[in-house]
Each structure stands twice: as C-alpha cells, then as structure tokens.
C-alpha cells in the first residue's frame, strides 16, 4: 500500500447530518497536516483540567479553536492524562459532562472526535453526530470498541499505550507490535483499514526519552501506509528538557509538532491552535520558497 500521510477534512461536509461513508476518502485527499484542537470537559486533565468544565465555557472554547483554524475538535470528558493518576469516571458522569456540550460543538460545523475509553460513550456520541473515535487504548481496551467503530463505519484513532513506562524496552518495536495487534483487531471486527489513523501516544507509558525517540523516528510507522497523528502538546517530556509548567510549554510544543510533521505526521493534536496553524503555515511557505 502506498504511503499516504497528508489528509484534510472539509468542514462543509459536516454542516448538516448525513452519511459518513466517504469520510476517509476525503481524509486521504488533502495535502497539508491537520490541526486537532483539544476540548477537555474534565476537572483533572494534566494541562487545563477544570478550565472548561462549565458547559458554556467549553462551548466558547471550542468556538474559539474553530475560529483559529482547527480542522478537528477532540472532545473528552474523562482525563486520560499519561501519568497514571487519572481518576476513572463512571459512564453516566462522563455522558453528563458531555451532554450539554457535544451537540452545540458539533453544530459549529467542524468535525468532532470523541475522546473516550468507553465503547458505549463512543456509540452515543457518534449517534449525536461525532465523526471520529479517538481511542487511547487503540481498540485494546474496551472489547466492544472495535465493533462500534465497524458498525458505525467511522474513522478511529488508534493510540499506543502502556500501563507503565519501562526504560529498558525498545519503544519503537513496542509501538510497532501494538499497532499490528490493533490492526489485527480492526480487521477481525471488519473495520476498513483506510479508516484508521495511528498515534504513537507521546507521553503515554513512555519515559521522556522514549517520547522524543517516537517523534524522531516517526517515519518508521509510515510503513503501515496509514495517516499518523502526534499529540505532543504541553507534554512532560518538554519539561524534562526545559523545566516548565504545562501552560509555559508552547515553544516546545511547536518545535515537537513541526518536527513531527517533517517526519510524516498528518495530524497534530494541540491545545494552542492559532500558534500551531501559524507555525505550520510559515514552515510550509519556507519549504515552498526552497
């Protein structure tokens, strides 16, 4: 399969409810990296926990990210922060956090990704009009997730994860093997391969050094012939290089995402949309001038 890693979503495609059978065809058709904006409706996310728990604040935040150029809005109501201390949220509480926000954000006309560990939440969100499932356990967590994705015929972001970091392992080999297991699960469930995006899970079950290595060697996973997503925004590996609080890691986030795109990323998942859009545009202009 050819390596096709540049993708684009057309927001007009989602201005009204309709079939999503050709979504991935549109994803494959683009020529620039996409920017996914983060909307955390949580009290405990590592970077912005509690800031957008109020529904109207979350909706306003999503509207601002869309105005700044976000191609996708990634909404989650259960923290999946990668440091092992996130509090698991009951199903009804997760839905209660999402309910006053999700429909309003979908109505903005920007494709919405539902960031959840639970297949039932994913199904509910998709029924409301979400377009993508973002699974931080790569179809290897909730046993019903692959079935829901297959039945709804939607794209899924398959992220590598580990319960704990292990500095002694070959992280590139570990991620590769994880992706292959996820792709096997997807195939058995009947998920179209071209509906899958791979995410190495920067910071999740990785030491800072391993996260850096995953960005540096991102090109390794282009061999799968699938789009790659990198979410390095405000992650702790930046702090390991230049000590800083999460809200003071914009420079490191931009550097990581520019290099990720140079190494093959088709989507970057970010908290700071406007600076990222600007950085990518300038980098692209410099490449064209060259």
Which residues are the active-site residues?
235, 269
How far apart, in whole angstroms, are the C-alpha atoms of residue 196 and residue 228?
9
How far apart, in whole angstroms, are the C-alpha atoms of residue 170 and residue 163?
16
Would you say 264 and 225 are in contact if contact means Cβ atoms under 8 Å apart?
no
Long-range Cβ pairs for the range 77-80 (8 Å, 24+): 77/41, 77/42, 77/116, 78/42, 78/116, 78/117, 78/118, 79/40, 79/42, 79/43, 79/44, 79/45, 79/46, 79/49, 80/115, 80/117, 80/136, 80/204
Residues with Cβ within 8 Å of residue 158, at least 6 apart in sequence: 135, 138, 139, 179, 182, 183, 186, 196, 197, 198, 199
């Amino acid at each position: 399969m050819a390596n096709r890693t540049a993708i684009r979503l057309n927001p007009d495609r989602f201005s009204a409810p309709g079939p999503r059978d050709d979504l991935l065809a549109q994803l494959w058709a683009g020529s620039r990296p996409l920017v996914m904006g983060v909307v955390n409706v949580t009290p405990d996310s590592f970077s912005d926990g509690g800031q957008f728990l109020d529904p109207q604040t979350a909706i306003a935040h999503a509207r601002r990210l869309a105005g700044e150029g976000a191609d996708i809005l990634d909404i989650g109501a259960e923290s999946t922060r990668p440091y092992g201390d996130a509090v698991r949220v009951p199903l009804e509480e997760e839905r209660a956090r999402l309910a006053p926000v999700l429909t309003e954000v979908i109505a903005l006309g920007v494709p919405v990704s539902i960031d959840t560990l639970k297949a039932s939440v994913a199904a509910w969100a998709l029924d409301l009009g979400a377009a993508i499932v973002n699974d931080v356990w790569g179809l290897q967590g909730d046993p019903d997730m692959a079935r829901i994705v297959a039945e709804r015929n939607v794209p899924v972001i398959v992220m590598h994860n580990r319960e704990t970091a292990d500095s002694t392992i070959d992280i590139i080999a570990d991620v590769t093997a994880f992706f292959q297991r996820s792709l096997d699960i997807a195939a058995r469930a009947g998920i179209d391969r071209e509906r899958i995006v791979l995410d190495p899970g920067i910071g999740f079950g990785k030491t800072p050094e391993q996260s850096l290595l995953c960005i540096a060697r991102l090109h390794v996973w282009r061999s799968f012939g699938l789009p790659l997503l990198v979410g390095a925004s405000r992650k702790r590996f930046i702090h390991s290089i230049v000590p800083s609080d999460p809200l003071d890691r914009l420079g490191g986030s931009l550097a990581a995402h520019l290099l990720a795109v140079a190494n093959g990323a088709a989507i970057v998942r970010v908290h700071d949309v406007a600076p990222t859009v600007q950085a990518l545009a300038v980098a692209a202009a410099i490449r064209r001038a060259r």
